[in-house]
């Protein structure tokens, strides 16, 4: 099994409130993981630990065998995150925001050029199309967009990173059912007609249990502990009741 990311005996928040407890999770190349659980169960916390921005109080996180805190810039750029709060830059355009997804692969000169004016427009257009946003948005400021449009800009930025691993925290929030299904199919690489490389491996937190059939693995969190980790074909209503009661 080709493990991309491993969380080993991870605890978060011992001194305050416990947010994650004894998390052991191996993510293998090609896994498409639905991360589910009640609000406040620890999904966002797990995603932040998995991308290295939140340091566990105990345990370790390894990306392809290397301690996540010791990754260089190129290795780090292989992990793309869609943040729950999106973290878009209101003052620049949609296209420029999308390009920030590629900063990890480029020089400081490239970053500055992107701030002066939009560059590599074709790549931005491919990401916009994959995110189901019209190219007419490319020069608009993100501050003028609706919440669902902003989320899709963040998804386009995620795709622009062309990473090996995607960690997406509620990418389908604010989206209607039709768009949710299309975007999910893009993130799961089931819809591939775009000029953009999509990661083979992903963890996607969702609040819609009816969508777990699209994934091949389901991880369920309850009160900071993983209480379910299995193939989605094995999930029963009993599992879901236990998770959400
Ligand atoms: N910055 C923080 N400092 C301290 N505790 C936090 C912080 N962020 C979250 N928590 C707590 O950690 C627990 C898990 O929160 P988390 O955001 O990971 O849940 P979640 O499953 O993503 O919830 P939701 O579905 O509502 O987004 C909650 O009890 C929350 O109050």
User: Tens of pLDDT along 17-36?
Assistant: 778 888 999 999 999 999 99
Does the model's ipTM exceed the 0.90 cut? Answer: yes
Confidence at 14, pLDDT banded by 50, 70, 90? low
pLDDT, residue 47, reads 97
Predicted pLDDT of residue 113: 82
Residue 163: CB atoms within 10 A of its CB come to: 23
Report, as an integer, the average pLDDT of 193-219. Answer: 93
- Ligand 1 atom nearest 41 alpha carbon: 21
Asked if residue 130 has pLDDT above 80, the reply is yes
- Does pLDDT of 236 surpass 80? yes
| Ligand 1 atom nearest to 47, measured from its CA | 18
- Select from 19, 53, 168, 220 the residue to mutate for testing ligand 1; criterion: most ligand atoms less than 8 Å from CB: 19
Best mutation site among 10, 14, 44 for ligand 1 pocket (most ligand atoms within 8 Å of CB): 44
Q: What CATH fold (topology level) applies to the domain 31-51+72-244?
A: Rossmann fold (3.40.50)
Of all protein residues, the one whose alpha carbon is nearest to atom 17 of ligand 1 is 44
Are 162 and 196 in contact by the 8 Å Cβ rule? The answer is yes
20 CA to centre of ligand 1 in angstroms? 10
Pick from 41, 47, 86, 222 the residue to mutate for probing ligand 1's pocket: most ligand atoms within 8 Å of its CB. Answer: 41
Ligand 1, atom 28: closest residue by C-alpha: 40
pLDDT given at position 16: 62
Ligand 1 touching residue 220 (CB < 6 A):
no
Per-residue confidence (pLDDT) for residue 170, from 0 to 100 = 97
Task: State whether the beta carbon of 12 lies less than 6 angstroms from ligand 1.
Answer: no
What tens digit of pLDDT does each residue of 53-111 get?
Answer: 999 999 999 999 999 999 999 999 999 999 999 999 998 999 999 999 998 888 888 88
From 10, 13, 42, 220, the mutation candidate for ligand 1 (largest count of ligand atoms within 8 A of CB) is 42
pLDDT the model gives residue 132: 94
Q: Which of the four pLDDT bands, split at 50, 70 and 90, describes residue 15?
A: low
Place of tokens 């810039």: 73
Average pLDDT across the chain, whole number: 93
User: Does residue 48 have its Cβ closer than 6 Å to ligand 1?
Assistant: no
Specify the pLDDT at position 104.
83
Predicted confidence band at 194 (pLDDT cuts at 50, 70, 90)? Answer: confident
């Amino acid at each position: 099994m080709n493990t991309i990311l491993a969380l080993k005996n991870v605890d978060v928040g011992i001194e305050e409130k416990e947010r994650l407890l004894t998390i052991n999770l191996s993510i293998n190349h090609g896994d498409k993981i639905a991360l589910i659980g009640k609000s406040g169960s620890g999904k966002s916390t797990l995603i932040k630990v998995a991308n290295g921005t939140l340091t566990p109080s105990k345990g370790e996180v390894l990306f392809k065998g290397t301690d996540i805190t010791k990754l260089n810039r190129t290795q780090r750029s292989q992990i793309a995150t869609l943040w729950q709060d999106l973290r878009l830059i209101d003052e620049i355009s949609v296209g420029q925001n999308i390009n920030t997804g590629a900063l990890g692969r480029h020089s400081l000169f490239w970053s500055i050029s992107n701030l002066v004016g939009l560059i590599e427009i074709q790549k931005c257009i491919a990401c916009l199309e994959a995110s189901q946003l019209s190219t007419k948005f490319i020069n608009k400021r993100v501050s003028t967009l609706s919440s669902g449009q902003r989320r899709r800009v963040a998804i386009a930025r995620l795709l622009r990173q062309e990473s090996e691993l995607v960690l997406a925290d509620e990418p389908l929030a604010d989206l209607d059912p039709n768009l949710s299904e299309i975007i999910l199919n893009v993130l799961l690489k089931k819809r591939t007609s775009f000029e953009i490389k999509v990661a083979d491996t992903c963890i996607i937190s969702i609040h819609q249990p009816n969508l777990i059939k699209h994934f091949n693995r389901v991880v369920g969190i309850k009160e900071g502990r993983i209480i379910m980790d299995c193939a989605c074909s094995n999930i029963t209503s009993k599992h879901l009741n236990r998770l959400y009661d």
